[in-house]
Structure 1
Amino acid sequence: MDSHERDEGTGRRVVWAVAETAIGPLLLAATDDGLVNVVFHASEAVRDRALRRLGSRLGAEPVEAPGSPLLAEAIRQLEAYFAGERRDFVLPLDWSLLSDALGFNRRVLDALVSAAPYGTVVGYGDLADRVGQPGAAQAVGAAMGSNPLPVVVPCHRVVESDGGIGGFGGGREIKRTLLALEGVLPQPLF
């Protein structure tokens, strides 16, 4: 990131870009510490709301910088993922937007990465068991809903124990599309 992208008031830098993907435009934002946010449906109105929220939460005015090395790498990895050439993401992550960056939600999101590699799913209850909180399936659902880095931290791989796909911040159709891309569900007919 260039020095002109650093917020004069806080000294923190927040950069962003929009990536066009198979599931629509994604807003990607990063700090010096790593990728901090992925936002679905990044139309101009959604993007502007997300950027205001980011600026408020992180204390720095986000600057458009698609050429930022971290954002360029994130976009490259997303393109490879959607082309079926990448199964996981290797990027530095900034958990600043996670309300309990060291608590339950973070433990669940960390466990998710190892519990459900590409092409697999894990149940909400199974994930609760993995973090030592049996019976906390609803809390796991809340942790998935708080994930500031969807797709990169694959909350779309968490499903209901009865076989339902469960909710998803990007919408169920996007969750189905991601699971189909990974071979968990059949590709839609149309």
Structure 2
Amino acid sequence: MSESRLKLAVIIGSVREGRFGPTAANWFAGEARRRDDIEVDLVDLAEVHLGQEAPSMSPSPEALAALGQLTPRLAAADAFVVVTAEYNHSYPAALKNAIDWHNTQFHAKPVAFVSYGGLAGGLRAVEHLRQVFAELHAVTTRDTVSFHGTWEHFESDGRLKNPEGPNTAAKKLLDQVTWWARVLREARAKDPYTA
């Protein structure tokens, strides 16, 4: 891969059985892969198994092994897109756990969001995440991609029923997150960020 390509980590935040996250994430990763300036790393938190330990506690051997897989992937990313459900007006616990285990991996990098849910489309989860990522010295993009009434938008095979609107929203989000990723990567190379 070319060094000039941006490394975009697309993080699937829900680990629940029957979750919709992989459907939305696979669609979005496909849109990102259409661009020649992005290398996509699809990170499924259900496959990393961080466990239920609080970050302040001594991690179990399993959690340490999971961190050994996840940490370098997040560190290598120039930008992130978090694909999140909305649970109880906020975001999934597994996503909170993954974010809390990591800090410096998000410093001075952009984060964008693809959310899904019922009437609110996951937007309340996104608003909570904006505050969390600000604490981690990350920059969040203004625009998001949001699916209200999630299952109504996709066929059973994961294809969008009406792709025009979501594809346009994905392009706008990708334009924003890659702009920030390029600018911040150059800035970190010239002057390493310190929190």
TM-score, reference length from structure 2: 0.26
Of structures 1 and 2, the one with the larger relative CO (CA 8 A, separation 6+) is 2
TM-score, reference length from structure 1: 0.27
